[in-house]
Amino acid sequence: MKTILLSLFLTFCLATVFAQQKPTMSSMTAEQKADEIVAKLNTNVNLTQDQLPKVKAISLERVNKNTAAFKKIGPNDKARLLATNKSILAEWEVQLKGILSEDQYNKYLQTK
């Protein structure tokens, strides 16, 4: 009887732990990934209400480009995929620099 109760208790505890885990980036939608990028950036540089939709738009574009690159290149050519993602990130940072103030962009560079 004790063994059954202990097993049930452990099963319940493990189910609770796994239910509380945050979804991984691979299981998130493009919109959710963009929201994560914006939330992290907002925490670091304090985006204004005017900047939030602009940053979300360029972040969603970045996520979609990364996803398309992964589908086109595939997981086997990691060097090429990394180079493509770095290029996409550099393009995003140029766009970001046009949206953020100089102080905000410097904070971004420090926390990057």
pLDDT at 75: 87
pLDDT at 58: 98
Segment 45-92, tens digit of pLDDT: 999 999 999 999 999 999 999 999 999 998 899 999 999 999 999 999
pTM above 0.85?
no
pLDDT at 103: 96
pLDDT at 112: 84
Number of C-beta neighbours around residue 76 at 10 A: 7
In sequence order, which ranges of 1-112 are alpha helices (DSSP H)? 2-19, 30-45, 51-73, 78-99, 102-111
Q: What is the dihedral of CA 73, 79, 83, 84, to 10 degrees?
A: 10
79 CA to centre of own chain: 21
pLDDT at 19: 55
Segment 1-60, tens digit of pLDDT: 666 644 555 565 555 655 555 556 668 999 999 999 999 999 999 999 999 999 999 999
